[in-house]
Amino acid sequence: MTGIELREEIRDLQSEHLAKYKEVTARSLELQQQAVTRQEQLSLVYMRVVIAGAGLVAFIVVLIFYLLTKLR
């Protein structure tokens, strides 16, 4: 193998490596974006559950006070 052929092979291998690196990086970014989207969706569900729970607790507290005052 001559020096020119060796350099061409190195160049080709570097090009293949760069293409693979770009592919892996793009896939990684896509997965990260999916994870962020899932996390945002879960945080919305969590917020709704917390609000519903707080509403239920408030209702129970009001009901207890109402029943306690009615029994007197």
**24-69 pLDDT, tens per residue?**
999 999 999 999 999 999 999 999 999 999 999 999 999 999 999 9
Question: Which pLDDT does position 72 carry in this prediction?
Answer: 73
* Region for 2 from its dihedrals, namely left if φ exceeds 0, alpha if ψ lies in -120 to 50, beta otherwise: beta
Q: Rounded to an integer, what distance in angstroms lies between the CA atom of residue 62 and that of residue 66?
A: 6
